Chain A
Amino acid sequence: MSGRAPAVTFPLRSIVLAPLLAVALVPAAIRAAPDVGTESRPGPPHALRAERVLDAATLDRLGVPHPTRIVFDANHCLYVLDAAARRIVKLNPEGQPLWDLGGYGDDDQSFSLPSDLAIDRRQSLLVLDRGKNALVAFDPAGHFLGVRSFGETVATETADPGARLLVDPFGDLWLLGPRDRDLIPLDDRLERSRRSRFLAPEASAGSPEAAAFLPTSGGWFFDAGGRKLRRFGNNGQIASAVADSLAPSGAGDVAVDQAGFLYAADPGGQRLLVLDDQGALRIERALGGAGVPWHPVAVAVSRSDRVAILDSERGEIQILTIERERVP
C-alpha cells in the first residue's frame, strides 16, 4: 500500500460566506414565497358517494383488464396501469380514454415489468419499471420524455416487486424501499440522496408496503409486517400507530386528500377507511362481502375530491365522490 494522508484544507471562505448569503436571502425569499398561511382547507369528509364504475368490460376494452395501480394528476385525469398487460391508459374526468401507451417490449416506450406510477410536479407521468430497473417518463400528452436507470445505491430496492414511487408536496421524488424498510429520497440522478435512514426508529418501520405524504407535514405508511397504519413526521420520526382494527389486512394501499385525510384501502376487510390526521376514523365504506367480494388493492385521491379504488382480480375501478362537511 502506498499513499499518505491528505493535507485537508476546507474551503473556509466559501463555507462561511455562502451561509451568510443564504441567511441574508431568506427573509426576501420568504416574502417572495406564496402566502399560504391564510388558506382555508376543505371540510372533513362525511360521506363517499359512488359516482362511476369502470367495469370489467370497460377496462377490457381499454386494454387494462386487470389494473394494478392508479393515480390522479392535477387536472383530475386518472392514469390506470395494468402491470400484466404492460399498458397505461389515461382517462379524462369524464371517464373517456385520452390515450394509452406501453405494451411489452425492449424499446424505450415499452415496458418490461412496470410496477408503479407517480405524477411529478410538472404533471409528467413517471413509471417505475423494475424489469428495466429504470424510470420512464411521459408528458401529459403521452409523449415519451425519457428513460433513466436507477442508481446503483437503490437498484436493489427498485427491483423489488413492492417498491413504490412517491412525490412529496415539494415535488421531490421518493422511493418506498421494502428491503430497506424505509422511504428513500432520490436525487436528480435517481440515486439515494441521503445515506442515513429517513424513517426512524427503524424498529417501528416494520415492513412498509404503502405510503403517502400529507400536503402539509409528514405522512402515513402502512406497515404490512405489523399490520399497522403509522404516521411519520417531516423528519422521518415515526409516531404511534392507529388502532389495529383500522389497519388494512393484506396488501393495502393508502392515499391522502388535499385536506390531509387518509384513505386506506383494506383488501382483506373489503372496505375503504377514511381517517383524520390524528388517526380517528371518519368513514368506513364497505365495498363487498362474502357473496359479492370486492378487494381494493389500490387507492388514489384527486384534488377534485374524487377517490378511485380498484379491485385487480375483479377488474373494476370505482370512482367515489367525497362529500364534506361545512367549515364554519
Chain B
Amino acid sequence: MIESRFGSRIVMGASIGAALAWGLGPLPANARPIDSLCPGGCDAPRDTVVIELPVARAPSLLALRASGPLAAGAADQAPPDSTASVLRNETRSWIAAAPAAGAAGGTIADAASNDAITFSGLKLVSVEVGANRAASMTQSLDLTIRGRIAGDVQVAASLSDRRLPFEPDGSSRELEDLDNITLSLKAPHGEATMGDFLLDGVPGEFAHLTRHLQGVQGSAKTGQAHWNVAAASEKGEKRTLEFRGEEGRQGPYPLLTLATGESNEGIVAGSEAIWLDGARLKRGADADYVIDYGASTVTFTIHRPITAQSRIAVDFEAASSRYRRSLYAASTQGLVPGRGGWYANYLSEGDDPSSPIGAALTADDRAALSALGDSADSILPSGVRYAGPGLGSYDWDESDPANPHWVFLGSSHGTYDVDFASVGAGEGAYSDTTSVEGVRFYRYRGVNLGSYAPGRALAVPSSRRLVDVGGSARLFGALGVDGEVARSGFDKNALSSRNDGDNAGTAARFEARLDPRAVAIGGLKLGSIQAQGRMRSRGDRFESFDRTDPAFEYERWNQAPSSAGEDRQELSLQYTPVQALALRGDVGRRRVTGGSESVRRGAQAVLNSALTGTLSWEEARNATSGSAGLRSLWGGDLGRDQGWFQPRVTAKDERIEGQDGDSVDARWNRDLGMILRLVPGKALKLRGGYARHEGSVTDAGTVAEDQAFTWDGGLSARFGSSFSLDGGFSRRRAESSTGPQATNLAQLAVQAGRPGAPVSSELRYDVNQLREASLVRELKPVGDGSGSYDAYGNPRLGGGYELVTSTGDPTTRSRAVVQVRLDAFPSRAARAPGKTPALWRGLGGSTFLRVEALSTLPLGSPDQAFRPDAYLDPETTIRGDVTARQTLEFAPAGRRYDLRGEVGYRREQSAEIEDLTTERRTGDARMTLRHPIPGGFRGTWTATYDRARQSIERQDATGSYASQMRGRGFEGEIARELRGFGQVSILARQRRDIDLTHGGYFDLWSAGPTARYAGGAKLRVDARALYGWSAQQGVYAPPGLYTTAPVGGRLDYDLLGEYRIHDRVSLSLNWTGFQAPNRPAYYTGRFELKGSF
C-alpha cells in the first residue's frame, strides 16, 4: 500500500498473472481466482485491484477498481478490457449496491447480491382529550420500502396514511384514500410505478401527449417489443393558447378563459410550457417569465421584452374545476432490427360524470344533461333551495314589484339558499361581493347591470379517445418510410347519446426520407444530398390530445387559425456542398376544410463557419373561393459566435396580403437589428443592441403606419462564487395610429459574498411594465346603520358605506422592486486552531431595505429611475411600501452574555380606493440582553417599543382620518440550571398599548414559573404556568379592532413530557389549557406513542 500526502492508498489485490490476463488474452483453462490482498482491511472480491489516488488538478481522490475475469460477478460487469473505471460521470447507480439496514453485516458487494429489503418509517398512535370534545384516537404510518425481491426485481415504495382516523372495525381505509403512496417495481424486463408520474413520449405524431398524472403505470419488454400501460387521474385539463403580445405590456396575460360552470382553480404548478417567437422559455424572476398559478396569469421579465409582433404560445394544464378526470393509456412499440419498427396506441381521457367537483349531480341534473346533446355548453337549473326560516341565507324581496329580487341576509338568517352563476358582464342582474366576515354573497344591481344570475351552472362532462397505429421501414439502405393512421372519438357530452354520430374522426400521414447521400461526378466529391416528402390528412372531426403542429403554423401558409381538417403535402430537398454551407428548398400545399388552399415555397442557406448565419425566403399563395392572398418573407442574419468580439446583424421583411381570416387587407413589417456581444473572458460579458421596426396596415384603402426603436444592453460579471453582477435594460419607443407607446425595463442583481460567509450582500433592482384592466374601487354611501365600512374605508359594521368594485380600462403601470441586504457576522469566519477569537468578532448585524411600488410613472426610464421620491409619490403611486430592518448583535463566541438589538420601519401607501389616499407608518425596536447572575443564575431582559400612525384622506371632502398607536413592553426571565436535574426559571412580562388618538390604553401583565426536569437519559418534562391579567383604561379603539379583548385574570399552563421506552420508541404527553373567571375553562391533552424503524 502506498500512502500519499493526501492519505490516499493503492491496494493491489490481484495476482500479476490475473492482471496480465486482462490485457494479454484468454485465461488458461486451469486459471483460478486469487485472493485479493487488502492491507487496509478492504473486503474487495477476490481477483480485484482497487486503486485510490489523488490526481493532479483533479478535485478529489479517484477510486479505480477492476475485477479480474474470475472475480465474483465480473462477467456481469464491465467488458474484460475495461480494467479501470474512471468514476467521473459514470452512470452506475448508487442504489445498486444498497445494503440492507436489517441485514447482518457484509460488504456493499455482498449486500448487493442479497435479496434484501430495507424498511424504514414511523408509526404513531395518539389519544387526544379536551374540554367540550370527545376523546379521539388517531394513528399514522409512514413507511418506506426499498430493496430487492426475487433476484433482479427492485422495489421502492413509500406510504403514508397520517392523520387518518381508525375505522370503526379497526381496518384501514381503501388504498385510494391514503394521503400519499408511491410504489415502484423494477425488473430487467419491466417496471411498474404507482404515484405521481409524468406521461410523455407516447410514439406517433397524432398520439403525442404530455400529462402530469397520479395513478399507476407499467412497462414491460418482450423480445424486441415494449409495452406500456397507464391508468391515472389527471390533475388538470390540457389547454393550448396562442396569442400576440401587446406593445408595452410585459403582463399579466391571462391564460384561462373560463367556460360556464368553471371557476378559476388555477393552473397545475409546473405544467406550463411557454414559447416566445418559437423559443422555449424558462420560469423565474431572473429568467424569462413569472407565472401566478392561482390567478392563471403570466408576466414576462426584462429578458423577454414583449412587442406587438411577439408570438406567444402556452401549453398548460388547468386545474380541474368541473369533474375529476381520468386517463388510460396503452401503447406498444417494437423494432425489427435493420428494417424498421412499429407502434400502436390507445388513449382515453375525460371527465368522470360520477365525480363532479363540488355538489353531486342530481337526477334532474343528469336528465337535463342527457337531453342536452352536444348543442350547448351548459344549462342553468333554478339553483334555489328552500331551507326553512332562519336556516338559509337569502329571502325573496318583492318590495319593488317591478324588480323583485333575492336579498342576502347572512348565513342562517334567511329562508332560502340560492346559487348564482356567472353569465358574463352586463348579462346578469347581480354582482358578487364579500362581507366583512369573508363570506361571498350576491347583491341585486338591476337588469343587465351585473354579471351573475340566480341558478346553478352545470358543466358538461366530455371524453375523448384515440387509436393510433404506425410503423416505419427502411428500403434500399438509404430510404426510410414512415406511416401512421389514427382514429379519434370526441364526445362533448358524455352523459348524452344525442349528436354522438359526429364524434369520430380520422387522420393519416405518410413520410419518406432519403438519408444524406454523397454526390460525386467522376470521383469529384460534390457534397451530399438529402430529401424528405410528407403527406398528411386530418379529418374535420379528428381531435388529437395535444398540439400536433408548432405554434402559429397557420401563418406560414397565410391561412386562418383552424382546428378543422386539412390535407397537406410537403417536399424538401437539402444540398450540402461543404460542411460549412447547407442549401435547402421546400414546396408544399395545404388545403383546409372550408375551401382555403395554399401553396408554399421556400429556400434557405445556412452558413456555419467562422461566420454563422442564415438567408431565407419563403412565399405562400392562398386562395379561397375567388379571393387570393400572398405572404412573402425575406430574412437573414449574419454574425460571429466565437471570440471576444461577437457582432450580429438581423433583417426581416414580411408582406402579407389577403390572409384568410384577417380583418385587414394587407400588412407589412420590416425589422432590422444589430447586436454586439463582447466577451473579454469567462467572467465578463457585455451586450448591446439596437433594433428598428417599420410596418403598415392597409385596410379599405387606408394605410396606417407604425414604427418602433429599441435599445437594450446588458452586463454579466462573475468572480467565483463570491461576486456576481447581472444587469440589463431595454427601452422601446413605438409610434402607431393609436399614439406613442414607451417601454422602459431595467434589472440589476448584484451579489457579493458567498451565502453563509461572514459578510454577504445583495442588491436587486427590477422594473417591469404591466398593463391590466384597472379595478376601480369606490366607497358608496348606503345610509347610516348599514354598510360594512366607514367613510375612510375602515371595516366597520353599520358604518354607512359599502365598497363597490368595478373593472375600468386597461392602464399601463410600472412595478418596481428595490432590495438591499447586508449580512455581516465576523464570528462565522474561520479561526486559527486554539486561538481565542477577538471580542470584536462577536459583533454582527443584518441590514435589509426593500421598496416596492406599483406606479403610473415609468420608473424604468432614466429620468425617473434615479428619483427616490418617484417611487412612493402620493400622486402616482397606486400601491407601495418601504420596509427597513436593522439588527445588531454582540455575541462573543464562548461567552455567556450577549446583547441584541433590532429596529424596523415600514411605510405603506395605497390609493387603490377612488378618492382615498391611505398611508401607514410603523416603527418598532427591540433590545435583548442575556447575562449571568451570581449564584448560577442567568438573566434575560427584553424591552420593546413600537409606534404606528395611519392617515386617510378623502380627496372629495375636507375630512380626514388619523390614528396613532404606541406600545411598549418589558420581559424578564431569571433562570438557573440545576445540575443533573434540569432548569427552573421565573418569567415576567408587561405590555401597554396606548391609543394616542382617543387617549385610552390597554395593559397586560403576566408572570409565572417554568421548569424543566431531565431524569436520566430517558425522561424529559417541561412545565409552565403563566398567570396574567389585563385591564383597559379610557377609550381604546385602534383601527381594525372589531372585538374587545376580555379583561381580567387568566391562567395559562402547559405540560410537555417525553419518555423513551426504547431507543426507537417514545411516549409523550402534551397538556395545555387556560382558566379565566366568567369564561369556560379550556384544556386539551395529547398522548402520543411513536416508534421509528
Contact = CB atoms under 8 A, between A and B. Distances in A.
B377 to A, nearest CB: 30
Contacts of A315: 721
B59 A294 contact: yes
A326 B1087 contact: no
B1022 A194 contact: yes
Contacts of A251: 756, 828, 830
Q: Which of B887, B898, B1012, B1058 has the most chain A CB atoms inside 10 A of its CB?
A: B1012
Contacts of A324: 99, 105-108
Contact of A234 (B1010, B1020, B1027): B1020
Those 9 A-B pairs whose CB atoms lie nearest each other, nearest first:
A103-B284, A327-B105, A83-B755, A225-B893, A66-B721, A286-B7, A105-B285, A250-B830, A33-B1091
B81 interface: no
B1062 interface: yes
Given A93-B94, A107-B290, A207-B893, A292 B42 contact: no
B220 to A, nearest CB: 21
Contacts, number: 427
B939 interface: no
B146 A75 contact: yes
B150 interface: no
Interface string A276-311: 000000001111110110100100001111100001
Contacts of A284: 7
B97 A217 contact: no
A84 B1075 contact: no
A122 B823 CA distance: 34
B1049 A5 contact: yes
B962 to A, nearest CB: 28
A3 B1047 contact: yes
A186 interface: no
Given A2-B1048, A66-B754, 14 more contacts: A6-B1075, A18-B127, A21-B1087, A25-B125, A123-B144, A156-B900, A171-B1090, A194-B1056, A235-B1016, A235-B1020, A268-B830, A292-B58, A297-B756, A323-B42
A136 to B, nearest CB: 12
Contact of B1048 (A4, A52, A109, A302): A4
Nearest to A68: B755
Nearest to A81: B755
A196 B985 contact: yes
Interface string B1052-1093: 000010101111111101010101110001010101011111
A151 interface: no
B500 interface: no
B738 interface: no
Contacts of B97: 304-305, 321
Contact of B1012 (A58, A196, A303): A196
B831 interface: yes
Contacts of A19: 1069, 1087
Interface stretch (B116-124, B395-403, B433-441): B116-124
Given A103-B283, A171-B122, A305-B98, A286 B8 contact: yes
Contact of B979 (A95, A106, A193, A201): A201
A152 B1031 CA distance: 24
Given A103-B285, A202-B977, A197 B983 contact: yes
Interface in A60-88: 65-66, 68, 74-76, 83-84
Interface of A: 1-11, 14-15, 17-19, 21-22, 25-26, 29-30, 32-34, 36-37, 39-43, 46-47, 49-53, 55, 58, 65-66, 68, 74-76, 83-84, 93-96, 101-107, 109-110, 113, 115, 121-123, 131, 139-144, 156, 159, 161-162, 169-171, 179, 193-197, 200-203, 206-207, 215-218, 224-227, 233-237, 244, 249-251, 258, 267-268, 271, 284-289, 291-292, 294, 297, 302-306, 311-316, 318-319, 321-328
B867 interface: no
14 contacts: A18-B127, A21-B127, A30-B1089, A40-B103, A68-B755, A107-B293, A140-B196, A195-B1024, A196-B982, A196-B1011, A207-B827, A292-B57, A302-B94, A313-B754
Given A170-B1066, A304-B98, A10 B1075 contact: yes
Contacts of A29: 125, 1089
B285 A287 contact: no
A213 to B, nearest CB: 10
B129 A18 contact: yes
B59 A318 contact: yes
Nearest to B1025: A8
Contacts of B1092: 36, 169-171, 215
A201 B286 contact: no
A195 to B, nearest CB: 5
Given A109-B269, A318-B59, A323-B42, A55 B1087 contact: no
B62 interface: yes
A297 B722 CA distance: 15
B79 to A, nearest CB: 20
A121 B1022 contact: no
Given A30-B1061, A68-B755, A95 B99 contact: no
Given A227-B831, A286-B7, A161 B755 contact: yes
A104 B726 CA distance: 13
Nearest to A112: B819
Residues of A contacting B: mostly: loop
Contacts of B1019: 235
Interface string B84-95: 000111111111
A6 B1078 CA distance: 9
A196 B1075 contact: no
B817 to A, nearest CB: 8
B1067 A313 contact: no
Q: Which of A46, A50, A52, A196 has the most chain B CB atoms inside 10 A of its CB?
A: A196
B792 to A, nearest CB: 29
B846 interface: yes
Contacts of B195: 141
A288 B1089 contact: no
B1049 A4 contact: yes
A315 B893 CA distance: 30
Contacts of B291: 107
A157 to B, nearest CB: 11
Contact of B1049 (A3, A66, A226, A294): A3
Given A14-B1085, A115-B755, A234 B270 contact: no
Contact of A292 (B50, B59, B120, B1029): B59
Given A36-B1093, A304-B98, A326 B1020 contact: no
B1062 A103 contact: no
A289 B5 contact: yes
B125 A234 contact: no
B329 interface: no
A44 to B, nearest CB: 10
Contacts of B891: 179
B445 interface: no
Q: Which of B40, B57, B1014 has the most chain A CB atoms inside 10 A of its CB?
A: B1014
A37 B154 CA distance: 26
Interface in B188-216: 195-197
A110 B285 contact: yes
Contacts of A51: 63, 87, 92, 94
A217 B1063 contact: yes
Interface stretch (B156-164, B365-373, B482-490): B156-164
Interface in B950-982: 977, 979, 982
A34 B1089 CA distance: 11
A162 B826 CA distance: 12
A107 B1011 CA distance: 42
A70 to B, nearest CB: 14
B98 A107 contact: no
B104 interface: yes
A285 B125 contact: no
Given A51-B63, A251-B830, A84 B1069 contact: no
A76 B94 contact: yes
Contact of A303 (B101, B830, B1003): B101
